[in-house]
Amino acid sequence: MSVQIAHLDSQAAYSDRRAFGDYGEFEVAEFQITYDVDPQDAANSRIVDLDKAPTTSDGKVRFRGNARLVYPRNKTPSCLFVDVPNRGRPTAFSFNRPSPSELQTTNMPSGDGFLCRHGFAVLSVGWQFDAEGMSLQVPEALENNHRIVGEAICQMQPTRDTTSLLVGQGGVFTYEPTGKGRLYQRASTQAPYEPVDSGAWRFGRLRDGEFDPSTRYISKEGGFSKGVVYTLVYETVGAPVVGLGLLALRDAAAFFKFEFEWPQDKPSFAIGYGASQTGRILRHFLYEGLNDDENGRKVFDAVIPHIAGGQRGDFNHRFAQPGSMGIPAAGQRFPFAARSTTDELTQQHAGLLDQYNHPPKLLSTNTSWEYWRGDAALIHVSSDGTQDIPPQDNERIYMFAGTHHINGILPLTDRLALTGEQLPYPLNTISYTPLLRAVLHNALAWVRDGIEPPDSRYPQLRDHSLVGREAVVDRFAQSPRFQYLPNAENLPGLWHTDLGADVKNGVCDHPAKLLSRYPRLVSDVDESLNEVAGVRLPEIAVPIGIHSGWNPRHPLHGAPDQTAAFAGFSVFDGLNCVPESRDACYELVSQVTDDLVDARYVLAEDRELVIDNAMKRYDAAQATSTAK
C-alpha cells in the first residue's frame, strides 16, 4: 500500500452535532497523507516522468497531500463517496442543496442533509499540485540531476480592451516564465494561429504610465483587444510530476476503502464523483487504467464524471496545467467514448475503459452547455459524426436538457458571478440538482443491490434528435426575440491535432497544429425552442420559458459571434412558452414530475422540490411578462 502515513490533523463534530435520520451524528476528520509509490510497478507505469522523480533509499517516489473525511460516528456508512475537489474546493456537498449563507461560511455545508441521510461517508482528496486548499506537494522530474527546461502554454480572451494580460491558465499561475516566449492571436479558437511580432510584446505591465517588468504579465504595443484570443507559449524551468495527482486519488481512495480503521465496519463500496475539471480527471483516471491499485484491488465501484463532456485534460503530461480550459493538449485527444471504437481520423482503436477486465459502473452526466462546447456528444457518437455509439452494459449517459454548466438559480440576472461578465440574455435558471441526486442514489443501488439505473437519455442520430449547432442557431434566428446569436463555425470543439513526435511520452509541442475538426453536435429543439432530448424537467417539458445551454458573448466584451464560458440562458417572454393559468401550469408540472419519479430520474423525496422549482420559474415568467 503506497499510503505510508495518514496523520490525523484534527477531528470535530460535523454540522454542530446535527442528527441525520438513521445515520445520526457525523464527524469531520482532517488528514495529512504521505504517499510512497514504486516507479517500477506496472500499476504506475503510465504516469509521465515518474521514472525521473527523486526516490527514497528504498526506491520509492514520495509526495504529500491532504484529505478530509466526513463520516457517521456510530453507523457503518452506506458507501465511501470520494469527492475530487475542483481547484482545491470540495464539490460533493452541493448534493445537500446548501443555502447561500452556508456557502459563505463553509465548503462542506450540510444543507438539507441529503448525503448524510443516505449514509455517505464523504472523502475529499487533495490531488492538484498548484491549487490552494485541498492540494498535493509533488517532486520535480530531473534529467541527469538537472531541472527540466521546456514550454508551457496559456490562453486568454479578455472581456475588455487592456494594456496587459495576466499570465496563467484558469486563474492559476503555475509555471514561472524565463522571459522567452511566443505570442499568437486569433479571432476565435477555430481560427489559425497568427504570430505576434516578437518586438511588439514583452513580459511586464504598465502601471501609472510606467513599465513594470514582470513575468506575471505580458504587454503589447497597442494593447490587447476585447474578444480576441491570445495564446502565449513560453519557456519555463522545473517540471513537477503532475500525474502523481492521479495516484493520490487512487491510493487515498483505496486506503480509506480497504485499510482505514473505521469506527464501525468498513463501507463495502466506493463511488468517485467529480464536476467539470474533476469530472475530466476521473475520465483521465479511468483512461490511464488506475482503477486497480498496486495490489490489484478495484478502487471505485462506480464513477460519476459530471459536466466533463468528452474530454480528459491536463493531468498527466510534462508542464501540464490541471486548471487549463480549452487548449488542445495530450488530454484532449481520442478516445472519447467508454466503448472501444475506431477513430476515423487516425485509425486508432481505443476506448476509455480498455484497461479493465472488470470496469467500474460509469454514469456520465452533462448539461446542454458541454454539448454546445462541442465535445459532449463524442461520448456517444463516432468520431466522424455518422453513427451512434451505444452505451456499454456497465454505463449510463444522461443529458440534462436545457441546463447549463454552473447550475441554475433565481432571481434572474445577466451577470456571470464567476467573472462579472455581462450577457445579452438572463442566465439559465433551471436547477438540475434533483436529477443529479437521483443519479447518485441510483448508482448506490446499482453497486450495492444490483438494481440497474433507468435507461440512458441523450440526443441520438437514430431519432434525429442529435444535430449540428448551426441547425439550432438557424431555428433561433427565425424568432425576432433573439437579437444576438453565435456563429456556429466560431464555437469551440475538439480537434485532431499534431502535438509533436514526443507526445506519446507526455511531451507536447505548443501550440498544437489543428488538423481537422471532430463533430460538434447538440440536441435539436422543438417548436418552443427547448431541447427535445435528454432528461427534461418540467420547465422544458411543459414548457415554462425557453432554456438553453449557450449564451452569446455580449458586444460590450467583444466577439459576440461566440458563446460565453459556462453560461446558458432562460427567456420567459416572446414566444408564449408559459401556460396562461397557474393552476393549469401546476397540473402539467405535477404530471411531468410524477412521470420522472416513476421512471426514477427524480427521487420521490424530491418530488415537491421539482414542482416548487418549476412553479417559482412560472412566477418569474409572470413577473417578467407583467414588467413588459
Do 398 and 530 fall within a single domain? no
461 lies in some domain: no
Residue 265 has what DSSP assignment? P
| Interval 43-72 mean pLDDT | 97
Q: Is residue 282 domain-shared with residue 384, that is, in the same domain?
A: yes
Q: pLDDT tens, 76-87? A: 999 999 999 999
pLDDT at position 8, please?
Answer: 81
**One domain, residues 269 and 408:** yes
Instruction: Answer yes or no: is pLDDT of 573 > 90.
Output: no
5 pLDDT exceeds 80?
A: no
Domain annotation covers residue 501: no
**Pick from 285-294, 388-397, 495-504, 616-625: least confident:** 616-625
Phi, psi of 37 (to 5 degrees): -120, 145
Buried b (16+ CB within 10 A) or exposed e, 587-601: ebbbebbeebbeebb
Question: Domain ends where: 237, 261, 287?
Answer: 237
Question: For 410-446, what is each residue's pLDDT tens digit?
Answer: 999 999 988 889 999 999 999 999 999 999 999 999 9
Q: What is residue 574's predicted lDDT score, i.e. its pLDDT?
A: 63
Q: Are 263 and 398 members of one domain?
A: yes
Res. 1: pLDDT tops 80 = no
Report, as an integer, the average pLDDT of 240-259.
97
pLDDT score of 456: 98
Q: Which helix (H) or strand (E) holds 458?
A: none
pLDDT score at 3? 82
Residue 626 has pLDDT above 70, yes or no: no
Mark whether 299 and 384 lie in a shared domain: yes
Q: How far apart are CA 590 and CA 611, in angstroms?
A: 6
Instruction: Give the number of residues written for the chain.
Output: 628
Whether residue 470 sits in one domain with residue 434: no
Single out the residue of 572, 575, 569 nearest to residue 614, CA to CA: 572
* pTM, 2 dp: 0.97
Q: Which residue has the cell 510512497?
A: 36
Same domain, 415 and 485: no
CA dist 348 to 78, 334, 529, Å?
41, 8, 38
In this prediction, residue 45 carries a pLDDT of 96
Strand partners, 153: 233
pLDDT band at 173 (very low <50, low <70, confident <90, very high): confident
Enumerate residues 6+ apart whose C-beta is below 8 A from 149.
178, 235, 236, 237
Rounded-to-integer distance, Cα 243 and Cα 378, Å: 24
Q: Please, what is the end-to-end C-alpha distance for the chain in angstroms?
A: 65
* Residue 209's pLDDT band (cuts 50, 70, 90): confident
> What's the CA gap between 370 and 100, in Å, rounded?
25
pLDDT at 100: 87
At 9, the pLDDT band (50, 70, 90 cuts) reads confident
Residue 503 in domain: no
Domain boundary among 237, 259, 289: 237
What pLDDT sits at residue 575?
66
Q: SS3 for 15? A: helix
Chain centroid, CA 38 distance in Å: 30
Model confidence pLDDT, tens digit, residues 144-157: 999 999 999 999 99
User: Does 309 reside within a domain?
Assistant: yes
Same domain, 269 and 403: yes
Cα–Cα distances in Å, from 543 out to 295, 588, 594, 601? 52, 9, 16, 18
- How high is the pLDDT of residue 37? 97
245 and 353 fall within a common domain: yes
Residue 472: the pLDDT is 98
> In which band, very low, low, confident or very high, does the pLDDT at 596 lie, cut at 50, 70 and 90?
very high
Mean pLDDT of the chain: 95
The percent of residues above 90 in pLDDT, for the chain, comes to 92
Any domain includes 68: yes
Number of domains in the chain: 3
Task: List the beta bridge partners of residue 495.
Answer: 517
Structure confidence at residue 307 (pLDDT): 98
In a domain, 506, yes or no: no
Rounded distance between C-alpha atoms, residue 42 and residue 354, angstroms: 16
Task: Give the end of a domain, one of 388, 421, 449.
Answer: 449
Per the structure, the complete domain to which residue 336 belongs is given by 3-138+241-449
Identify whether 517 is part of a domain. no
CB 443 within 8 A of CB 386: no
Nearest one of 130, 225, 213 to 186, comparing CA atoms: 225
Cβ(285)–Cβ(211) below 8 Å: no
Q: Is 502 inside any structural domain? A: no
Average pLDDT over residues 54-58: 96
Q: Is the pLDDT of residue 171 over 80?
A: no
184 and 96 part of one domain: no
Mean pLDDT of 55-81: 97
Rounded average pLDDT over 272-296? 97
| Shared domain check, 292 and 421 | yes
The reply to whether 118 and 182 lie within a common domain is no
pLDDT digits (tens, 9 = 90+) for 122-147: 999 999 999 999 999 999 999 999 99
